[in-house]
Structure 1
């Protein structure tokens, strides 16, 4: 209860009842979060009914690390000054935003812990190199470098919708709670895409991409996606690479993109061209390690189809 004759508390009495320091009360008052009811003749701050409950609310909100701006919105809503039109909306938004922030922080901590374990668990002689490798990756990791790598690999005039669809498959999403092996796999992926594939100044592209326009590249990748799906089905059955529906769709994708017919001569030419294309097998191996999924990757499906084409044409792909 108030003990003064005017029913108001001084700043020291309010601070004592709330269990905080006078500087804390002054800080919130100066910031407009804890309005004064009046000033004494001597200019001292005086606080009226509701100040103690309001101060406790401020402390509770700040204890959850809510920023002052969010605290202000919650208090304004309680005062009936919020214009959002939702009862409790400011508090709901503040809590949801803080949960998102904490989720990101926890994810970063889990990645950092797994990265440190990756360094700790490798042989002592390898630890400096491992530290440089995993330390180059942010926590949580950013997949933008992987997307940039593929944008440089894909045909330059490929439609944006087709690029987006391909990136959704080709760019693996890092797990929320990784183990040391997954952190290492992502770090190796990051190192791989951060430099040209062949060590030269430019990034090589598959032969099929070099003259492809928007329409041709869209046809090619739509057909390849379907062929990869059919090949993946065969791979799950442990089927050996062989001619069939998957290979026919694979060849047809290239033939349609080039507006030519699927003939034995075309298949032999395609086989030679694919054999000479730059290979990024390691990318798909690391992707499988990172995701931990048994599903065949697009890269594995591509290799299966190339082997099937090799068997069909009687040629030999380089090892």
Structure 2
């Protein structure tokens, strides 16, 4: 008898494969490893092919493949490549789910959230791309709907949709949760609505200047330099900075450079001075893996304080 003709009892298979006798008997009863024959005493015996089948079954089961799929592979109804691809895809889904759960639990632990808050955070984190887009659209409609605000700004906010990737980090998921909560905050919506209404009033008065990226860059550069030089906003040394910036605002908006301009400028900055707006853009950048925006809050706070300190001198 050749090695290929050798017959094995269940005990022999257990010793060769390392599987428990009970497990091999279960596979035999399930028809996964059919017997080759029986001994005169009625014990089941198996050929060398059973050893190979058991090795394959063990490997597939350790990888998490269910028994019906194992049967399909052994019956050649599905190839190993097809099963491996399907199982890898299923594992990807499980991994994404586990990452999401870990991120939510981390946020719950950091915030000391309640059961209700944890449920809300989990539902927010599981939103689809379409759901996230709808949430931003609802936020934009609530803040800008029916108001003739700066159309370039409205389009910018509407187009900047959070895109949470499948392999999102815990930090990205936590940023998305906070961003979603922020867009649902009635007080934040009311604040942005006030900004929109102010823009609408300015546009009704003839302002068609759109976005002011160059002007913002100038403010950042000049005030940043003043801060680096240790010039406080109330200091007389800040006068030239305010004068230069006021002149630039006057040229940009077609207004006379006079005390009324500075009053108007202070009001304009004060309306927009909600730090949550900057937080919104930082969270969006974190979710989308965009470069972190430069901090403008301290710059415009300095600008506001400088203008406020000179309010009594505007008429001089």
TM-score with structure 2 setting the length: 0.49
Q: Which has the larger radius of gyration?
A: 2
TM-score with structure 1 setting the length: 0.48
More helix by share: 2
